[in-house]
Amino acid sequence: MHARADATSEQQAAENAAEHIASWPEEIFAVLERFDVRQVPYVPDAGHSQLIERVLGSPSMRGIALTTEEEGVALLAGAWAGGQRGVLLMQSSGVGNCINMLSLTQIFRFPFLTLVTMRGEWGEFNPWQVPMGSSTQAVLELSGIKVLRASHPEEVREVMEAAASQAYNACTPTALLLSQRLIGTKVFVK
Amino acid sequence: MRKANLLDRRAVVSRLLANRKGAIAVGGLGASTYDIAAAGDNDRNLYLWGAMGGAVMIGLGLALAQPKLPVLVITGDGEMLMGMGSLATVGLQQPGNLSIVVLDNECYGETGGQTSHTAGTADLVGVATACGIADARAMTTMAEVEALAPSLQDVTAGPRFVSVKIDGANLERVLSNRDATFIVNRLRGSLGFQPI
């Protein structure tokens, strides 16, 4: 009985995990909807592709393609000045492009939230991703941004909710790093 | 290479803002912010003292959030050159209520008057046009500026891009408020938004 119950709960846990693996971008999208996020600037990344598709198909959100990530920081400052919330989607290499513009998060004290898909860690194939990926968190923290991280599918919703709450309710500039372990290491084939 | 009959920057900005109604004005760091301050403080002025290269994107965020209000970004050629990619982003979004006016003195006036790229080969109107901003013009006379001013109120005909060739003389600074939290909350308040 005891063993059977364990087997059932293990099976249940495995099923739950499989569900999260398929749906974590969907869970992020649901949190953004619930917080009434309207402007979603992005520089594309494979790790964000499912979320970007959802945003571009959403009637309430506006996906805004950028030429460089720092544009997104300034855009979100303007969106806030105009009464709308936003979130910036980028890859870890983009964080370096934002540094001076991140001043706006402190100087305007506006609810800045960015979701950063990580490269340069966890089995990375491309050495060119490693330097910026290694300094991403420190760069954000030196710029006054609080950093949260999700590495497993089943924790994404909870961490995302915490990130959105502290950003939008407390105007605490926040970055949520989505680990390469979560996204899956990019496979390069010849 | 001094050119004749260049416009006075304060006269241009003061004319553009004279009958602004509810328009929001974003000033790029440096002299553009002083010009907007010189034209008169207003709850809907967003003065930038930093974030170089970000003026157009701040204007775009505002324009998308407030599509019924005219949003006017006034900035310099150096600030615009640093954020040139944002013209491509504006071209893609086509906000009808966003107007960008570059006060082009072909130099970095705040740092000693070093020449900028527009003194040489760069053509910002050409860049804006190539980025999909169909209404992109260069202006050299006050008559053109006077004709532009009322058209800024049309929130369906943008985005607009205007480069006004101005005199490079450094004018006395008119310092705006520089507490950005105050400035942004004052603007939000004028739009009906409460502090958190």
Instruction: Name the residue of chain A whose CA is nearest to B54's CA.
Output: A74
A165 belongs to a structural domain:
yes
Residue A84 to chain B, least CA–CA distance (Å): 6
| B9-190 to CATH, choices 3.40.640.10, 3.90.950.10, 3.40.50.970, 3.40.50.620 | 3.40.50.970
A13 belongs to a structural domain:
no
CB contact under 8 A, B93 and A66: no
According to the model, what pLDDT value does residue A1 have? Answer: 40
- pLDDT, tens only, A42-100: 999 999 999 999 999 999 999 999 999 999 999 999 999 999 999 999 999 999 999 99
Of A65, A79, A100, the CB nearest to B61: A79
Which structural domain, as residue segments, surrounds residue A126? Answer: 22-183
Q: Which of A4-8, A80-84, B85-89 has the lowest mean pLDDT?
A: A4-8
Instruction: Name the residue of chain A whose CA is nearest to B52's CA.
Output: A101
Cα A189 from Cα B22, distance rounded (Å)? 56
Cα A57 from Cα A79, distance rounded (Å)? 20
A2 belongs to a structural domain:
no
Residue B195 backbone phi and psi in degrees, to 5: -65, 160
**A42 and A54 Cβ atoms separated by less than 8 Å:** no
Q: Where are the alpha helices (DSSP H) in B44-141?
A: 55-65, 77-82, 85-93, 124-130
Domain ranges of chain B: 9-190
A190 belongs to a structural domain:
no
- H or E segment and range at residue B157: none
**A44 and A36 Cβ atoms separated by less than 8 Å:** no
Virtual torsion, Cα A57, A60, A62, A63, nearest 10 deg: -40
What one-letter code names the amino acid at A171? C
A positions 98-117 inside 8 Å of B (CB): 100-101, 103-104, 107-111
Provide the mean pLDDT of chain B: 96
Provide the domain count of chain A.
Answer: 1
What one-letter code names the amino acid at B44? R
Q: What is the CATH number of the domain that holds A156?
A: 3.40.50.970
Mutate: best of B184, B185, B193, B194, partner A, most A CBs <10 A: B184
**A101 Rama sector, left if φ>0, alpha if ψ -120 to 50, beta otherwise:** alpha
A39 belongs to a structural domain:
yes
